[in-house]
């Protein structure tokens, strides 16, 4: 039995940390990260302002990402680490293989739309997002004005497209909440969904 959940978020929204923590709480769980599918810098387009356009689908090998997800679904690895859990939960989940897909541009790429069970979107307000971004080191490094000129506008565009798509079922999460609170909510939600599948 397979269960795939997708985590999307604004830059520095906390999706990777959340995904890693969930992996340690869930049996037979693996993570596929969109960041692993970026094209090399030389293949990423540059706009008229000199900004490298990383926050668009064309900056990624999306077809390879879909292939990786499909390959996992054909033969899911069962190397997930199971932490101490209530026995009934373990019994109920031991035959389930769980995949967490995490990235920043997952929900407006059509070929991914049929592969999910649950979709989450971590949001952050502008100031907090900019503050967190400024504490991270990127390769290549952010150029002056890059966040305001490219990263944030692309996030707003993408989020607006999602919100306008009535058929898109996404659970929006407040990225300013503590990791513990977010983890507790998502874990409970997943267990509930898995129990529904087993009924």
Catalytic annotation, residues? 35
Distances (CA, A) of 141 to 93, 128, 198: 42, 19, 47
Cβ atoms of 47 and 143 within 8 Å: the answer is no
71: enclosing H helix or E strand: helix 62-74
Q: Which two tokens stand for residue 162?
A: 């999602």
> DSSP state, 84?
S
Burial string for 76-106 (b: 16+ CB within 10 Å, else e) reads: beeebeeeeeeeebeebbeebbbbbbbbbbb
User: What's the rounded Cα separation, in Å, for the pair 193 and 196?
Assistant: 5
């Amino acid at each position: 039995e397979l269960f795939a959940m997708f985590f999307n978020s604004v830059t520095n929204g906390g999706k990777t940390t959340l995904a890693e923590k969930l992996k340690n709480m869930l049996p037979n769980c693996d993570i596929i990260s969109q960041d692993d599918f970026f094209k090399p810098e030389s293949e990423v387009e540059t706009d008229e302002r000199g900004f490298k356009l990383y926050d668009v689908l064309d900056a990624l090998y999306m077809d390879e990402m879909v292939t990786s997800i499909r390959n996992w679904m054909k033969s899911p690895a069962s190397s997930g680490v199971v932490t101490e859990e209530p026995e009934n939960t373990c019994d109920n989940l031991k035959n389930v293989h769980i995949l967490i897909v995490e990235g920043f541009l997952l929900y407006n790429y059509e070929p991914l739309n049929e592969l999910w069970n649950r979709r989450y979107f971590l949001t952050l307000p502008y100031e907090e997002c900019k503050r967190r971004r400024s504490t991270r080191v990127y390769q290549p490094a952010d150029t002056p004005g890059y966040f305001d000129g490219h990263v944030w506008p692309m996030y707003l565009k993408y989020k607006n497209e999602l919100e306008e798509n009535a058929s898109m079922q996404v659970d929006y999460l407040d990225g300013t909440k503590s990791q513990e609170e977010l983890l507790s909510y998502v874990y409970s939600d997943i267990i509930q969904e898995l129990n529904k599948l087993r009924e």
